[in-house]
Amino acid sequence: MEKKKFIFVISSEITTDGDTSNIKLTTTGNYSKINGRWVLLYDEMSEDKTAVIKTMVKVNDKSVTITRNGEGSSKLIVTEGERNMCHYRTQFGDILLGVYCNEVENDLKDSGGTISMSYTLDVNASVLSENKVTIKVREVK
């Protein structure tokens, strides 16, 4: 069986102290349904372009888990209506982040689709940023 290739377009809007920045990443990777969850696997480069970061996104109906391995390893759990505590590794050491998710919209199916989430990150109950992330998945023809 031939493995299908998928394109992921990941758009992030991050608001910190009233300033908003937008980041967009387009990459290819693997996309499948495993044990009832959609799983996206892709590589991205570190900010300084010196290391590859392996990223896995697991999507349930109203929950998304993003695991990054490599430089800046982290595991972010985003569940609609819940606050989760997540570890985030930086060059200065590990920090514990609070992640409160306002909304998860999941329109994924076998051929692709869209997952979007809106959440805040906090440290010591002080909000660091408001985040909106959208991942569009489509099969390479």
Q: Dump pLDDT digits (tens) for 11-43.
A: 999 999 999 999 999 999 999 999 999 999 999
Confidence grade of residue 70 (pLDDT, cut at 50, 70, 90): confident
Distance from C-alpha of 90 to C-alpha of 68, rounded to nearest angstrom = 12
The length of the chain, given as a count of residues: 141
Share of residues in the chain with pLDDT > 70 (%): 96
CA dist list (Å): 47 to 20, 51, 52: 18, 9, 10
Distance from C-alpha of 86 to C-alpha of 55, rounded to nearest angstrom = 16
Structure-block tokens of residue 123: 């440290």
User: Is the separation of the CB atoms in 39 and 56 below 8 Å?
Assistant: yes
More confident call, 77 vs 93: 77
Confidence grade of residue 3 (pLDDT, cut at 50, 70, 90): low
Distance from C-alpha of 88 to C-alpha of 105, rounded to nearest angstrom = 24
Distance from C-alpha of 48 to C-alpha of 29, rounded to nearest angstrom = 22
User: Is the separation of the CB atoms in 100 and 119 below 8 Å?
Assistant: yes
In this prediction the pTM is 0.90
